[in-house]
């Protein structure tokens, strides 16, 4: 039976020769992730299950990133619950304060996920690690608790959609533009219950940061996971982070896909997803005059060093438009330090930006940039649902760092080509 | 498992951010979450919902974040079952894991309007509107998923299995 990449990883972790779409399996987890919102309920469920110890204290990651630095007393209590649990269970990978950052930025950085791994996380964007050739998917707190107790999780083996990437991205166009364009094409349910498998000659022109951005948003098409074929760029990245596992699974030549899409990267444009759906995608140059109150660059989607390099290239020598609030949130301490060293933070300060600590913050309307009634923001995040960044009558436009930076300068939504001198 | 209740009907793509907005995620107290259930979509829901009521919705119900607070808020508000044309997958597994019955049925949306009553047989997958006599059939659950529903969720199932092993 020929298999896709996802099917091969699931079969290997279920101890089976092969699996077929629709099979219900129990599979072993290489890593179980939770954050400051989802881990507290998981700790409570873990107690209910009644297991004394976690299955493996080195295979659990707890990252305090959503409402941190703690925005209020309740959030502080939630973190304390997790901290106490981590101490009691001697969890090796507990991250908070200056050791933390946005979960999906820091886990790959720290080499905690490698190719061929099976990862579950009580966070829907756990699918990010597919960029590394891993099977990773979002689950809830109960699954996380059961995972911490038993090291296992139940799955229905998904069918797959194949995305055959061709050509090379034009300048100023990045992974965010590609994935938004794909979601615009297939819709928010276009990959429901399925795996999105990315491969083809076009891979070579996508940086690891581009791929992480793309895999991150697979869930926005309803997918169970997004996964990239492993190539030299993956191998080099995994070497640099010291990731332990580097088991490469390749899809069989005759693997069966529910559908195959050819994506010509050279035809990609700077795009924006208008409220309130990540599938409401339009070319940045075609949206007309949309004034914006705030621009946020950061998050698990676009909070990595390349994202800030791209934004800095555009913001260099320019200023944020009068009255527009530009918020920069590096995704991790490492990204922060790198941006500092490369002089990017100086460029942002000069442009009038507020630079915050690594946190999810405004992405989920938590803190550090919540919107008032009637306000609009361009954000490099992944969701523009009603009320996502604050008031139910505020508006979020999703874009990559290039569009976000150009928008910050012009005070209205625009691609970088709209800037004078570019 | 036979259920019946009056319907609260919604459209497509009801996401977990409107089911329970992030501003309330600094707690996972179920009763507290229920007070804000569906607040950004239907501010009257929390005040109107009665124990045993049914949510009937369109496509992709529960899309977005993996917050288990969403099915928890719905369950704690007294809703006995969510019937939708289709579900987002994380919401679907979370609901089953916490013991909130959900039924996926493409034809169900046209069966009833808000305020109508529905009779649901979870094991058989049948959904009936007794006032009109109309009914639809969902694919019934089997195997592991059925066990999960009958046990009342993953924890109950894990505990039951552990007890059986001890016996
Ligand atoms: S940055 Fe946003 S989408 Fe990513 S984990 Fe944090 S809240 Fe979720």
**A380 CB less than 6 Å from ligand 1?**
no
Atom nearest to A382 CA in ligand 1: 3
Q: What's the token pair of residue B1?
A: 């498992």
ipTM of the complex: 0.93
Q: Give the separation between CA A353 and CA A220, rounded to whole angstroms.
A: 29
Biggest alpha carbon–alpha carbon distance for chain A: 64
Q: Give the separation between CA A65 and CA A359, rounded to whole angstroms.
A: 5
Of the pLDDT bands very low, low, confident and very high (cuts 50, 70, 90), residue A245 is confident
Please check the confidence at residue B166 and state whether its pLDDT lies above 80: no
Q: Give the separation between CA A172 and CA A401, rounded to whole angstroms.
A: 9
Boundary of a domain, candidates A205, A239, A265: A265
pLDDT in tens, A102-142: 999 999 999 999 999 999 999 999 999 999 999 999 999 99
Give the H or E element holding residue B121: strand B117-121
Cα(B65) to centroid(ligand 1), Å: 9
* Residue A326 is assigned to a structural domain of this protein: yes
Q: Give the residue-averaged pLDDT of B75-83.
A: 97
**A181 CB less than 6 Å from ligand 1?**
no
Residues of chain B in contact with residue A386, where contact means CB-CB under 8 angstroms, are 15, 17-18, 40-41
**A388 CB less than 6 Å from ligand 1?**
no
Please check the confidence at residue A272 and state whether its pLDDT lies above 90: yes
Residues of chain A in contact with residue B43, where contact means CB-CB under 8 angstroms, are none
Boundary of a domain, candidates A265, A284, A316: A265
Angle between helices B89-98 and B69-76 (to 10 degrees): 50
β-bridge partners, B162: none
Q: What is the CATH number of the domain that holds A367?
A: 3.30.499.10
A346 contacts A328 by C-beta, under 8 angstroms: no
B130 Cβ contact partners less than 8 Å away, ≥ 6 residues apart: B117, B119
Of the pLDDT bands very low, low, confident and very high (cuts 50, 70, 90), residue A274 is very high
**A360 CB less than 6 Å from ligand 1?**
yes
pLDDT in tens, A195-239: 999 999 999 999 999 999 999 999 999 999 999 999 999 999 999
Got the DSSP string for A335-350? HHHHHHHTTHHHHHHH
Tell me the nearest-neighbour CA distance from B130 into chain A, angstroms. Answer: 32
- Taking the CA atoms of B95, B98, B103 and B104 in sequence, report the sign of the dihedral they define: positive
Cα(A329) to centroid(ligand 1), Å: 12
Of the pLDDT bands very low, low, confident and very high (cuts 50, 70, 90), residue A352 is very high
Q: Are residues A123 and A158 in the same domain?
A: yes
Of the pLDDT bands very low, low, confident and very high (cuts 50, 70, 90), residue B5 is very high
pLDDT for the residue A166: 98
Cα nearest neighbour of B70 on chain A: A140
Q: Are residues A322 and A245 in the same domain?
A: no
Q: Are residues A125 and A237 in the same domain?
A: yes
Please check the confidence at residue B144 and state whether its pLDDT lies above 90: no
Please check the confidence at residue B159 and state whether its pLDDT lies above 90: no
Cα(A65) to centroid(ligand 1), Å: 8
Residues of chain B in contact with residue A66, where contact means CB-CB under 8 angstroms, are 22, 25
Of the pLDDT bands very low, low, confident and very high (cuts 50, 70, 90), residue B53 is very high
pLDDT in tens, A65-80: 999 999 999 999 999 9
**A102 CB less than 6 Å from ligand 1?**
yes
Q: Do B89 and A192 touch (CB under 8 A)?
A: yes
Please check the confidence at residue B126 and state whether its pLDDT lies above 80: yes
Q: Are residues A337 and A251 in the same domain?
A: no
Cα Rg for chain A, rounded, in angstroms? Answer: 20
**A66 CB less than 6 Å from ligand 1?**
yes
Specify the fold of B2-166: Aconitase; domain 4 (3.20.19)
Cα(A173) to centroid(ligand 1), Å: 22
pLDDT in tens, A357-396: 999 999 999 999 999 999 999 999 999 999 999 999 999 9
Candidates A279, A377, A281; CA nearest to A326 is A377
**A221 CB less than 6 Å from ligand 1?**
no
Residues of chain B in contact with residue A385, where contact means CB-CB under 8 angstroms, are 15, 17-18, 64
In this structure, the strands spanning A31-35 and B2-9 are unpaired
Residue A298 domain boundaries: 275-418
Residues of chain B in contact with residue A143, where contact means CB-CB under 8 angstroms, are 93-94, 97, 154
Of the pLDDT bands very low, low, confident and very high (cuts 50, 70, 90), residue A325 is very high
**A382 CB less than 6 Å from ligand 1?**
yes
In this structure, the strands spanning A93-95 and B102-104 are unpaired
Cα nearest neighbour of B68 on chain A: A140
Q: Give the separation between CA A392 and CA A401, rounded to whole angstroms.
A: 25
Of the pLDDT bands very low, low, confident and very high (cuts 50, 70, 90), residue B160 is confident
Please check the confidence at residue A422 and state whether its pLDDT lies above 90: no
Q: Give the residue-averaged pLDDT of A317-324.
A: 98
Q: Are residues A251 and A328 in the same domain?
A: no
A341 Cβ contact partners less than 8 Å away, ≥ 6 residues apart: none
Boundary of a domain, candidates A231, A265, A299: A265
Query: Is the bond leading into B66 cis (omega within 30 degrees of zero)?
Result: no
Q: What percent of chain A lies above the pLDDT cut of 70?
A: 100
* Residue A249 is assigned to a structural domain of this protein: yes
Q: What's the token pair of residue A58?
A: 């080195």
Q: Chain B, 61-90: which have a CB under 8 Å from a chain A CB?
A: 63-69, 71-72, 86, 88-90
Candidates B112, B97, B125; CA nearest to B55 is B112
A64 contacts A82 by C-beta, under 8 angstroms: yes
Cα nearest neighbour of B30 on chain A: A41
**A43 CB less than 6 Å from ligand 1?**
no
Q: Distance from first CA to last CA of chain A, Å, rounded?
A: 52
Cα nearest neighbour of B40 on chain A: A392
Please check the confidence at residue B161 and state whether its pLDDT lies above 80: no
pLDDT in tens, A181-206: 999 999 999 999 999 999 999 999 99
Please check the confidence at residue B142 and state whether its pLDDT lies above 90: no
Q: Chain B, 100-129: which have a CB under 8 Å from a chain A CB?
A: none
Please check the confidence at residue B167 and state whether its pLDDT lies above 80: no
Q: What's the token pair of residue A213?
A: 């951005």
pLDDT for the residue A278: 98
Q: Do B18 and A40 touch (CB under 8 A)?
A: no
pLDDT for the residue A273: 98
Cα(B43) to centroid(ligand 1), Å: 26
Stated pTM of the model: 0.96
Number of domains in chain A: 2
Q: Give the separation between CA B108 and CA B127, rounded to whole angstroms.
A: 8
User: Between B27, B63, B67, which is nearest A222 by CB?
Assistant: B63
* Residue A270 is assigned to a structural domain of this protein: no
pLDDT for the residue B2: 93
Give the H or E element holding residue A235: helix A232-241
Of the pLDDT bands very low, low, confident and very high (cuts 50, 70, 90), residue B164 is confident
Cα(A170) to centroid(ligand 1), Å: 28
Query: Going by CA atoms, what residue is nearest to atom 4 of ligand 1?
Result: A300
């Amino acid at each position: 039976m020929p298999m896709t990449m996802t099917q091969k990883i699931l079969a290997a972790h279920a101890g089976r020769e092969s699996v077929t779409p629709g099979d219900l399996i129990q599979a072993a987890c290489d890593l179980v992730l939770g954050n400051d919102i989802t881990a507290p309920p998981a700790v409570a469920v873990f107690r209910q299950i009644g297991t004394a110890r976690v299955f493996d204290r080195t295979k659990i990651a707890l990252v305090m990133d959503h409402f941190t630095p703690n925005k209020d007393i309740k959030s502080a209590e939630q973190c304390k619950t997790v901290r106490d649990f981590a101490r009691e269970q001697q969890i090796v990978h507990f991250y908070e304060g200056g050791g933390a950052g946005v979960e999906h930025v820091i886990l790959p950085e720290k080499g905690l996920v490698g190719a061929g791994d099976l990862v579950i996380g009580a966070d829907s964007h756990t699918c990010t690690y597919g960029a590394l050739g891993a099977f990773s998917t979002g689950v809830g707190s109960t699954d996380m608790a059961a995972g911490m107790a038993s090291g296992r999780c139940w799955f229905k083996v998904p069918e797959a959609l194949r995305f055959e990437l061709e050509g090379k991205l034009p300048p100023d166009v990045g992974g965010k533009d590609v994935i938004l364009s794909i979601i615009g094409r297939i819709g928010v349910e276009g990959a429901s219950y399925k795996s999105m498998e990315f491969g083809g000659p076009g891979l070579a022109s996508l940086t690891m940061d581009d791929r992480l951005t793309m895999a991150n948003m697979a869930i926005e098409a309803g997918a169970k996971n997004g996964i990239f074929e492993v190539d030299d760029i993956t191998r080099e990245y995994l070497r640099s982070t010291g990731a332990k596992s580097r088991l490469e699974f390749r899809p069989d030549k005759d693997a069966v896909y529910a559908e195959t899409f050819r994506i010509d990267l050279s035809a990609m444009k700077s795009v924006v997803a208008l409220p309130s759906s990540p599938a409401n995608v339009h070319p940045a140059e075609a949206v007309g005059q949309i004034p914006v109150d705030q621009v946020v660059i950061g998050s698990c989607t676009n909070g990595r060093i390349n994202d800030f390099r791209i934004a800095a290239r555009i913001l260099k020598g320019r200023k944020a438009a009068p009255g527009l609030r530009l918020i920069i949130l590096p995704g991790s301490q490492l990204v922060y330090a790198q941006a500092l060293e490369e002089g990017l933070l100086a460029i942002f300060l000069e442009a009038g930006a507020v630079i915050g600590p690594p946190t999810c913050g405004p992405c989920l309307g938590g803190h550090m940039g919540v919107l008032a009634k009637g306000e609009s923001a361009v954000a490099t995040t992944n969701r523009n649902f009603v009320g996502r960044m604050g008031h139910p009558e505020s508006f979020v436009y999703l874009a990559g760092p290039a569009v976000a930076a150009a928008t910050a300068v012009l005070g209205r939504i625009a691609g970088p080509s709209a800037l004078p001198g570019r | 498992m036979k259920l019946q209740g009056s319907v609260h009907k919604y459209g497509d793509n009801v996401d977990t951010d409107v089911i329970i907005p992030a501003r309330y995620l600094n707690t996972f107290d179920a009763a507290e979450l229920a007070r804000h259930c569906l607040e950004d979509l239907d501010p009257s829901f929390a005040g109107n919902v009665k124990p045993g009521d049914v949510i009937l919705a369109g496509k992709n119900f529960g899309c977005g974040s993996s917050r288990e607070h969403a099915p928890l808020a719905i369950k704690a508000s007294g809703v006995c079952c969510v019937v939708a044309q289709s579900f987002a997958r994380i919401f679907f597994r979370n609901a089953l894991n916490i013991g909130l019955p959900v039924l996926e049925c493409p034809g169900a949306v046209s069966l009833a309007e808000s305020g109508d009553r529905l009779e649901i047989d979870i094991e058989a997958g049948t959904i009936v509107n007794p006032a009109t006599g109309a009914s639809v059939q969902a694919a019934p659950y089997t195997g592991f998923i059925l066990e999960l529903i009958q046990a009342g969720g993953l924890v109950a199932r894990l505990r039951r299995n552990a007890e059986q092993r001890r016996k």
